[in-house]
Structure 1
Amino acid sequence: MKIKKILNNNTLLVNDKGVEKIVIGSGIGFQKRVNDIVDKTKIEKVFVMEDKSEYEKFEEIVKSYPQEYVDVAENIIHYAEQKLNVELNPHIYIALTDHLAFAFERLKKGIVVQNKLLEEIRSLYFDEFKIGIWAKDYIKQKLNIEIPDDEIGFIALHIHTAKNNYRDISVTMDIASIIKDMTKIIEASLNIKIDEASVSYQRLKTHFHFALKRIIKNERTFGIDMELFEVIKNKYSKAYNIAKNIQKHIYEEYDYTMPDEELAYISLHIQRIINSA
């Protein structure tokens, strides 16, 4: 494994048997030169980007932002991987570092960007949000920058996006936004205020969340017997019509197509909310 480019003291672009890789380790690039052999004892993380343009983006980010910003982002990612016991999509090294660097500069100027999906993120991505809380304390300790809860939510979004191997954070935001919209549609249709701590709502939200992930990933949905489908459609017509409105809204506003089979399951969950209202 030879050094192809030194990005900073802790980050190298290397050639490993013809494959370009990013290598991260404390002081791994210190007093090194191109074509030197990498000290494997200092390697903490090795990853491969999906295409060459991502190496260029990563290099630009590493060289454009203060070293301490890059180090903080890398350590948050490392902590997240340990806590979630999963290897995150390497694109997070670009996305999260870029986001945090802008956020730090904004906050220094007193500019706070509101996260309108904060409560949905806190509820949907609970484990990732806990990592964001840890990151808030870590950032304060390392950089003496106090990030608001809105930024905890954005950190959680980036981590969840990378955990699920999505290429764009907008997908994760769409899921949170759609669930928020779904809740509003049900409340408006039934003229009620949903108890979001209730078992019936939590079950609906969980089912809907996984249904959306399947739709976005083009995975097969759960099948349902057509006779049972017709029974649910007719017996719980009010709940079914609400589910149809949600289906329409998702298509018109987000361009996602919810299969009709999902309507039966969602109708049953909505019916439980109706029964408990």
Structure 2
Amino acid sequence: MTQKGPQRSGTLAHKVLNNNVVISLDEQGRERVLMGRGLGFGLKASDTIDPGKVEKTFILEGGEDGDRTRRMLTDVPYPVIEAVSRAVDQAERTLGHHLGRRLTLAVIDHIQFVLERLDKGIRIPTASMPELRVLHPREFAAATAMAAAIATALERELPPEEAVFLTMHLLNATRDEPNGTAALLFRRVQHVVHTVENGLGVTLDVESPDYARFILHIQFLLQRLVSRTMLRNADSSFFEFAKHSYPRSFGIAQQVKAYVRAATESELTDEELLYVIVHVERLASQIGAEPSGG
């Protein structure tokens, strides 16, 4: 989606979707989407495309995906397409990573949906998800900048939670993982955090270093579980000591273990559980909770 520059001279229009989006055929007969402000104005099939007006170009997929993309590019106002495309370009430069056509199309679709909801006075609130700032600071910062750039270009106010949604899009685009993997991992981290908060009866201080360490530890724990590289130690003495010395934190860790088992069908080792106990106890000390010992 981010390919730029003039097309070869003599490129002919195959279909004109609207004043700003035209489809041509490349040498292999594949449909190529060309976008630019006023590119399709007055253009008819078989007319020569003005290469100086082409701002973006990408190959259109076949089948249902291609049909959906065609409909979206026909229906979505070009200022939205333009604003999102430029914001994605900036995110690519910031992250030093090619984000691909799929991300741009997904964000165009998402932003248009948000704008339509706002026009109807509908806003679906979401949590601020402070864990994202800890786990993925670069992507969160890039997503925040994207949301601000899109809002400025469209002269619209976007809800602050858009940075969260855009971060999830960026994570899936910048990681060599199946689509949705980053979101699934993040939801699991969130569930563990909520389990700990409920167990301690508090809302954790998301700005504290102990919170950041805990979040990172849980992320790495879940990743080790997926890669089957969980921590193991033949010496169980420290685990037994923590288990009896910090019964409340041990109980919360057991709840985390039960959730992980239900969510992943994998069993946490005592060594992994030990570190969960230690982190929970540290968080309890940070918030001034009553001692766990009994």
Coarse TM-score class (shorter-chain normalised): 0.7 to 0.9
In structure 2, relative to structure 1, the CA distance for the partners of 1:185 and 1:61 (3 Å cut) is: same
Contact 1:157–1:173 (CA under 8 A) maintained in structure 2 = yes
Separation in structure 1 between the aligned mates of residue 228 and residue 46 of structure 2, nearest angstrom: 51
Q: What residue in structure 2 maps to residue 105 of structure 1?
A: 116
Q: Which moved more, 1:89-98 or 1:2-11?
A: 2-11
Change (3 A) 1:193 1:150: closer
Aligned-residue offset at 1:243 = 3.6
Deviation at 1:202, TM superposition (A): 1.5
Q: Deviations over 1:177-212 (max 9, x none)?
A: 322221222233345554433333312211322444
TM-aligned CA distance change 1:181 to 1:34, over 3 Å: same
Root-mean-square deviation over aligned CA pairs: 3.6
Work out whether residues 257 and 273 of structure 2, in 8 Å CA contact, stay in contact via their aligned partners in 1: no
Partner in structure 2 of residue 227 of structure 1: 234
Q: Does the 8 Å contact 1:117/1:176 carry over to 2?
A: no
Question: C-alpha separation between the residues in 2 aligned to 1:104 and 1:51?
Answer: 28
Identity across aligned pairs (percent)? 20
Q: Which protein has the larger Cα radius of gyration, Structure 1 or Structure 2?
A: 2
**How do 1:31-46 residues align onto structure 2 when only pairs under 5 Å count?**
none
Please tell me whether residue 200 in structure 1 is matched to residue 210 in structure 2.
yes
Quick one: distance in 1 between partners of 2:159 and 2:71? 27
1:67 corresponds to: 78
- Partners of 1:72 and 1:166 in 2: CA distance: 27
Aligned counterparts, 1:1-277, within 5 A: 4-8=14-18, 11-18=21-28, 20=30, 22-24=32-34, 26-27=36-37, 29-30=39-40, 47=58, 52-164=63-175, 168-169=179-180, 171-191=181-201, 194-212=204-222, 220-228=227-235, 230-231=236-237, 233-237=239-243, 238=247, 242-252=252-262, 255-258=263-266, 260-261=268-269, 264-265=271-272, 267-275=274-282, 277=285
Q: Deviations over 1:26-71 (max 9, x none)?
A: 3594466656787777765555577643222211111121111222
Distance 2:104 2:24 in 1: 17
Q: TM-score, normalised by structure 2?
A: 0.72
The answer on whether the counterparts of 2:37 and 2:78 sit within 8 Å (CA) in structure 1 is no
1:149-173, CA deviations, whole angstroms, 9 ceiling, x for partnerless residues? 122322222222222255545x444
SS of corresponding position for 1:197: coil
Amino acid at match of 1:234: E
Distance 1:272 1:256, change over 3 A: closer
Range with greater deviation from structure 2 (198-207 or 92-101): 198-207
User: How many Å separate the matches in 2 of 1:207 and 1:132?
Assistant: 24
Deviation at 1:271, TM superposition (A): 0.4
Change (3 A) 1:90 1:241: farther
TM-score, normalized by length of structure 1? 0.75
1:271 alignment partner AA:
V
Unpaired stretches in structure 2, ≥5 consecutive residues: 1-7, 286-294
Q: 1:191 to 1:135 in 2, by over 3 A?
A: closer
Structure with greater proportional helix content: 1
Amino acid paired to 1:264: E
Q: Distance in 2 between matches of 1:152 and 1:88?
A: 17
Aligned length: 269
Cα drift, residue 260 of structure 1: 2.9
The verdict on how the C-alpha distance between 1:241 and 1:134 changes in structure 2, with shifts beyond 3 A counting, is: same
